[in-house]
Amino acid sequence: MTVHPFIEAEKQGGHSVKRACELLEVSRAAFYARRTDAPGPRAVRDAELTEKITKVHAASRGSYGAPRIHAVLRRDGEQCGRRRIARLMRQRGLQGRHRRRRQRTTIPDPRAALRP
């Protein structure tokens, strides 16, 4: 549960924000940062990367997974980690396709004679 609406109500009531933050054990910096409601630099960068990941995934017709997308983005000069790309792909619901496992069609007879 967030305490920021309560502190905002106290501020509107003319009470001290400093005292309310001390009582609720919240830093004043966090309270004022939350009021601006601007996304942080990591969220902004994640949004940019997600857009690029989506484009690369669509260009590969949905076949590229995180390792290949990471390789393409690195080739294009992007500095990011493979696990970050994997996390953003999971959040976006993107998955790479993989080949089916080869199906064995012939089962050898264990009692058959060995060929010379």
Domain boundaries, the chain: 4-36, 41-92
Predicted TM-score (pTM) of this structure: 0.62
Instruction: Specify the 3-state DSSP secondary structure of 91.
Output: helix
Model confidence at 4, pLDDT cuts 50, 70, 90, reads confident
**Average pLDDT along the chain:** 87
- Tokens 């080739």 — which residue? 75
pLDDT tens-digit map of 75-116: 999 999 999 999 999 999 999 988 888 888 888 888 888 887
Residue 1 has pLDDT above 70, yes or no: no
- CB count within 10 Å of CB 74 equals 14
DSSP class of residue 103 equals P
